[in-house]
Each structure stands twice: as structure tokens, then as C-alpha cells.
Copies of this chain bind each other. A is one copy, B any other.
Amino acid sequence: MNSSEARSRIVATADALYYSRGIQAVGMDELRTAAGVSLKKLYAEFPSKGSIVMAVLERRHQAWEDGLDARVRQAPTPRLRLLAIFDYLCQWFGEDTFRGCGFINTFAELGAISPEVAAYAREHKAAFQHYVARLAEEAGAPAHLAPQLSILAEGAQTTAAIAGSADAALQARSAAEVLIDAALSSRAPAAG
């Protein structure tokens, strides 16, 4: 087995296990078994569990950004591109493996005792806010819109995770519509 093939298999398996059950609840032995690699190989690829966790976070960040951007690119107008964020959330919440935002979960579990994890979660959320800000700017919205939409998106994720229903995405989407239209009409008030 190729080294990078083993790496990605380990990270993909760890991602699924950690996400569904929590990081501290999944031991190296279970990960080894599920990934189908030997412990020796595991520790040849990663020096510690902590480094696997960081690799999982990086993978999750990439998957999130790619999936979101793909969905956003399909929308024809700047306004619909902003709303596409919530369409993407709605689709995600509907997956039966959904269990909240992996970064929030990992931050909640390890952020207080692992500065690395805390910093990466912060970076991930900052990158998302920056992405939303760029979309909002392209829509001609004032600067305060992006943080508001980001907060809506965050809230939808935790609400859906705990309540276990995908409704939160729809409610967040309608709220986003109101906020977007209010922001756009305040910048171009003559439109009404």
C-alpha cells in the first residue's frame, strides 16, 4: 500500500469516526482496525493522535470549502449566491451522518486543552466569514451583513445538530433573505 494512499485512508476513517462519536471516544486501536492498517503503519504516517486530529480538521476544512463553493457557483445572481450558503446547509443537515459542525464539536471537546485545535477552529470560522464577506461585497451589501449571515449559519448548524432536524436551515434562509434585502435596500434606498 502506497504511503499517501494509507494517509488519506487513515484520515478519512478518522474523520468519520471522530465526527460521529467524538475524538476522545475513539481510540487508536479502533481507528487502526477501521482503517485496515497496522499500528506500525499508523505511527509511521502520523507521530501522534494529535497530528491525526489536525489532519482531519484540514480535510474537513477543504471538503467544506469545496462543497460550499461548488454550490455557490451554481447560483446565477449575487443575492442567490448568498442564499446558496443556506441551501448548502440544508442539504448537509439532511444527510443522516450529520452531527453538527465538526469544528464547533472539536473546539468544544478539545479547544480548552489544545491551543492547536482552538487556533485551527478559529481560522476555519474566520475563513468562512471572509468568504461570506466577499459574496456580500459582490452583492453590493454594506459590511455589517456578512457577520450577521455568518452568525445565522452558525446558529443553524448547532440548532440542527441538537434538535436533530433540518428545519433550522430553512428558517435561517428566510431570515437571511430578510437581512439581505434590508441591507441592499438601505444601500440603494430609492429601489423600493
Which residue from B106, B122, B158, B162 sits with its C-beta under 8 Å from A163? B122
- For A162, list chain B residues within 8 Å (CB): 103-104, 107, 111, 118, 121-122, 125
A108 to B20, CA, bound (A): 10
- Flag if B171 contacts A148 (CB, 8 Å): yes
A154 to B152, CA, bound (A): 8
Copies in the complex: 2
Q: Interface SS of chain A: helix, strand, loop or mixed?
A: helix
- Flag if B148 contacts A154 (CB, 8 Å): no
Q: Which of the 9-residue segments A21-29, A33-41, A43-51 touches chain B?
A: A21-29
The yes or no answer to A109 lying at the interface (CB within 8 A) is yes
The proximity string for A residues 158-172 relative to B, scoring 1 for CB distances below 8 Å and 0 otherwise, is 110111100110011
- For A121, list chain B residues within 8 Å (CB): 162
- Flag if B108 contacts A163 (CB, 8 Å): no
- Flag if B150 contacts A159 (CB, 8 Å): yes
- For A24, list chain B residues within 8 Å (CB): 24, 109
Tell me whether A109 and B158 are in contact in the complex, defined as CB-CB below 8 angstroms, given that A104-B104, A148-B171 are known contacts: no
Tell me whether A168 and B151 are in contact in the complex, defined as CB-CB below 8 angstroms, given that A112-B21, A112-B25, A162-B122 are known contacts: yes
Count chain B CB atoms within 10 A of each CB in A144, A175, A178 and give the residue with the most: A175
Which residues of A does B touch, CB under 8 Å?
20-22, 24-25, 99-101, 103-113, 118, 121-122, 125-126, 144, 147-148, 150-159, 161-164, 167-168, 171-172, 174-175, 178-179, 182
